[in-house]
Structure 1
Amino acid sequence: MKDVAAVAGVGLKTVSRVVNGEPGVREETAERVRKAVEQLDFRANDGARLLRQGRRTSSVGLIVEDVADPFYSTLTRAVEEVARAHGALLFSGSSAQDPERERQLALAFGARRVDGLLVVPTAADHGYLAGETAAGTVVVAVDRPLAGPEVDTVLCDNEGGSRSGVEHLLRQGHRRIGYLGDAPGIFTAAERLRGYQRAMAAAGCESRPEWVSMGRPDALGVRLALERMLAGRWPVTALMCGNNRTSVAVLRELAGRERRPALVGFDDFELADLLPVPVTVVAQDAGRLGWTAAELLFRRLAGERGAAQRIVLPTRLVIRGSGEAAP
């Protein structure tokens, strides 16, 4: 700002008035300031100005597992639209399921004085957020609960959704149903596995250990799991997949087989409805998840008080064909 004042031949206060759109400056002088601003490519530090005025920075941070995942990209876009409607900027980053990377991102956003944080948790302990919440930063957990501070949480009905998918396969006459899920330490993966187990138990069906595979959806792991489930004396006749990436990996492995097990996936995915046998899925609304969490955060920023809320959004079964094959 000093450089702008020197080039325009005015005082710092005059530059401040012009940059902030305040009255009291002659048009001729204001034009000199604007030309100096353009010449020097000056950018006002809105964050510093707001902090000096004791105001918020009008920015929020979002940490997801992987912004390239269609589920999280949809969630991010919904949060961005809510932030824009409230006149705020959104900073976002991917934790890559790495607790240390999540911590670094959260603290980096906090150092930039964001007003609030939306976090898809990865870490087993979120005690590091205590300093942020004590400083007045609003925190909302999305998709999974935080392990630590008592904060607002917005989830989807993971257990109920998984249970509804398995129950659909049971209604088609299947009794030997395999389950492929994500790493068991992930909250959503554990909840969806529980839904599968409870649906099988309620129907009086056995759930053999060789019919369950939990781990990251890499090609080799999925191939070995399917070989185990589809071989032997009691091969499965149907599969429940715990997320969209697992569903895609399973479909790749089953491609070219003359006989395929019935399949229901948790999470919809692009082109699932256009495959030769369209894929039946348990769909969760990522956009609604992001929108609900962001609106809750901005209500808190506007002064809403009360105990931490836990909101659970419903899922829906989308019947397309792959889950309706008879045993």
Structure 2
Amino acid sequence: MRHVAALAGVGVKTVSRVMNEEPGVSEATREKVLLASRQLNYELDVTAGSLRRTSRRTQTIGLLLPSVSNPFSAEIHRAMEDALSAKGVAVFAASLDDDPDRERSIVRAFLGRRVDGMVLTPIAANQAHVIPEHSRDMPVVFIDREPNGIEADAVVTDNAAGGAKAAAHLVSSGHRKIAYLGDRTDIQTARERRRGFLEALSGLGIATETVPVRENLHDVEAARLAALEILTSADPPTALFSSQNLVTFGCMRALRDLGLSAKIALVGFDDFTLSDMTDPGITVIAQDPGRIGALAAERLLARIDGDAQPPRTYVVETTLIVRGSGEIPPSW
């Protein structure tokens, strides 16, 4: 706040009034203060008063996920709460909606509340533009995707290996005409799953240029329409690989709409609740969100407590869970 006051040529009290939206400040002075705060990436520290009277820790951490409503994100959230509540640490969670602007604003909001650390799924192309330089000493652990522009611990799934497992499983069931339906291509995990899947098919002797690929499917309806288009084409596939659970839901609906649930094989990436209750059950490449959340919490607590070892990336393996849909043999 003193730095803002000096840059704007006003007193600290004036800066406080502006940032707290109190009356008694002229519009011209208010504009000068706001301009200075933007230039310095200053955010109001809403806990500063209490911190002067207590320890520097707030016993809170920020958890920033693509969407807290997504089952995968929800399981990470729960695993972190289970691990951190035992240490008396509260978890504040927020959804980023894969929006870089939202990522920046929520990061700054958490910084303003002086969380002790953050666990963040990176969205923007470069996290150096997301976390202000004056806050780079805050402990941060990245999950699901590796960061760019910042060196920090990351906990990720081996997405390429998971995609390869799906390819190998479908080929072992006799399939040669397999379609790929994927998430947005600007998302690191989606690109890795596609890469692993296509490289494995190529290694198994299937020409990848013949593989129908539909991407940028970020919700159930978009995936359903893409699957319908592929399945009703002149040369439909005998199997589908869906690279994200919402895409899997769309594929399931398309197969149901066409009466093909028992005739077209389906392997999805990400497990989900009641996946064994359909007929057939859905074969999946399961991530381990519980392990990811627990490991991220462990690494964040270590960093908060002063662990200074070089940052590293922790890779969590996937598991093939066979339930029936991925074992349907080709019908043609």
Do the structures match in fold with TM over 0.5? yes
Greater alpha carbon shift after TM alignment, 252-261 vs 145-154? 252-261
Aligned residue runs from structure 1 range 258-277, under 5 A: 258-259=259-260, 260-277=263-280
Separation of aligned partners in 1, 2:239 and 2:193: 16
SS of residue in 2 equivalent to 1:208: helix
Distance 1:312 1:230 in 2: 35
Distance 1:282 1:238 in 2: 15
Which of 313, 317, 320 lines up with 2:316 in the alignment?
313
Q: Deviations over 1:62-119 (max 9, x none)?
A: 1001101111111111111222122212111111111111111111100111110110
Are residues 1:302 and 2:314 paired? no
1:96 counterpart SS class: coil
1:200 match: 201
Is the 1:158–1:192 contact (alpha carbons within 8 Å) kept by the matching residues of 2? yes
5+ residue gaps, structure 2, are: 1-45
Measured in 1, the distance between the counterparts of 2:319 and 2:211 equals 28
Show the counterpart of 1:257. 258
Tell me, yes or no, if structure 1 residue 131 matches structure 2 residue 133: yes
Equivalent residue runs for 1:64-143 within 5 Å: 64-127=65-128, 128-131=130-133, 133-134=135-136, 136-143=137-144
C-alpha offsets along residues 117-166 of structure 1, whole Å, 9 cap, x if unaligned?
A: 110111112123142543x3101101111122111100011110111011
Report the secondary structure of 1:296's partner residue. helix
Q: Secondary structure of the equivalent of 1:287?
A: helix
Q: Distance in 1 between matches of 2:267 and 2:179?
A: 11
* Aligned-pair CA distance for 1:224: 4.2
What is the aligned partner in structure 1 of residue 17 from structure 2?
Answer: none
1:221 maps to 222
Larger displacement relative to structure 2 (217-226 or 168-177): 217-226
Report if the CA contact (8 A) 1:60-1:115 is conserved: yes
How much has 1:282 moved relative to structure 2?
A: 0.5
Structure 1: unaligned runs, 5 residues or longer: 1-44
1:60 aligns with 2:56: no
Partner SS, residue 327 of structure 2: coil
Structure 1 residues 115 and 220, CA, compared in 2 at 3 Å: closer, same or farther?
closer
Structure 2 residue identity aligned to 1:129: I
Compared with structure 1, are the counterparts of its residues 114 and 223 closer, same or farther at alpha carbon in structure 2 (3 Å cutoff)? closer
Indicate the residue corresponding to 2:158 in structure 1: 157
1:323 maps onto 2:326 in alignment: yes
Aligned counterpart, 2:37: none
Instruction: For 1:324 and 1:222, locate their aligned partners in 2 and report how far apart those are by CA, in whole Å.
Output: 22
Tell whether the 8 Å contact from 1:110 to 1:132 is kept in structure 2 after alignment.
Answer: no
1:287 alignment partner, one of 252, 267, 290: 290
1:276: Cα distance to partner? Answer: 1.4
List per-residue Cα deviations over 1:269-325 (Å, max 9, x = no partner). 121101011010011111111111011000111111111110000110000100001
Count of paired positions: 282
Larger radius of gyration between Structure 1 and Structure 2: 1
Supply the distance in 2 between the matched residues of 1:222 and 1:208 (Cα, whole angstroms): 21
Q: Contact 1:51 / 1:57 at 8 angstroms: preserved in 2?
A: no
Aligned-partner Cα distance in 2 for 1:46–1:183 = 38
Deviations 1:220-264 (A, max 9, x none): 533443244334554211111101111111111110434431010
Percent of residue pairs identical: 38
What is the letter of the counterpart of residue 291 of structure 2? R
Amino acid across the alignment from 1:324: E
Q: In 2, are the aligned partners of 1:65 and 1:96 still within 8 Å (CA)?
A: yes
**Contact 2:222–2:250 (CA under 8 A) maintained in structure 1:** no
Letter in 2 for 1:316: T
**Whole-Å separation in 2 of the counterparts to 1:230 and 1:207:** 18
